[in-house]
Amino acid sequence: MWIPGFGRYTAKPGNRVGDDAPDFTLLDQDGVPVKLKDQLGDKPIVLVFYPRASSPICTKQMCSLRDNWATVVQKAKVFGVSYDPPVALKVFQRNDKLPFTLLSDPDKRVAGAYGVAGLFAAARVSFVIAPDGKISAVITDIKASEHDRQVLDAV
């Protein structure tokens, strides 16, 4: 169910399966810049766009990845992306013991490039990016408690 003010995935040139993934640089939970292009190469990347750090459904979604991390990390690199500032991401990561990097997109630029931007929050959508930089899957029907399985099926 869509909530006004939250993003919805809009397929467009540049964010569809087979397209080159839009490159970006965002600050992580520690304020360190992370550039997508620098992460490409050895295994797929999963960009998990989610509405808000530490909210109940987002926590359930991210904890599903955490709880199956030993398997997920063998198959892919995971980056969570939200509009939250790095300090909120750090709290989310620490409190829920999330083993992957969280990225801050406060100006909604990256969410916009991937077609998931909303006024208040990004859509709950995950993109799988192949080692060559092409989008290989878009997961739009996220089931929070099963997102680890959805990601593993897509990679």
CA nearest neighbour of 47 among 18, 74, 26: 26
The residue from 45, 46, 48, 58 that is catalytic is: 58
Q: Could you give the count of Cα atoms lying within 13 Å of 77 in the half-sphere of its Cβ?
A: 18
Rounded distance between C-alpha atoms, residue 145 and residue 16, angstroms: 25
Neighbours of 108 (CB within 10 A): 17
139 in Cβ contact with 24 (< 8 Å)? no
Give residues with Cβ within 8 angstroms of 93, minimum separation 6.
29, 102
Q: What residue ranges define each of the domains in the chain, with the CATH number in brackets?
A: 26-31+42-154 (3.40.30.10)
Does the annotation count 58 as an active-site position? yes
Q: What is the pLDDT along the chain (155 residues), one digit of tens a residue?
A: 556 677 889 898 999 999 999 999 999 999 999 999 999 999 999 999 999 999 999 999 999 999 999 999 999 999 999 999 999 999 999 999 999 999 999 999 999 999 999 999 999 999 999 999 999 999 999 999 999 999 999 99
The conformation of residue 29, written as its DSSP 8-state character, comes to: T
pTM of the model: 0.95
Q: Compute the Cα dihedral for 111, 117, 121, 123 and give only its sign.
A: negative
Q: Which residue has the tokens 């809009």?
A: 10
At residue 25, the 3 state secondary structure works out as: strand
- The burial of 94, by beta-carbon neighbours within 10 Å (0-12 exposed, 13-18 middle, 19 or more buried), is given as exposed
The conformation of residue 131, written as its DSSP 8-state character, comes to: T
147-154 and 56-67 are packed helices; what angle lies between their axes, rounded to 10 degrees? 60
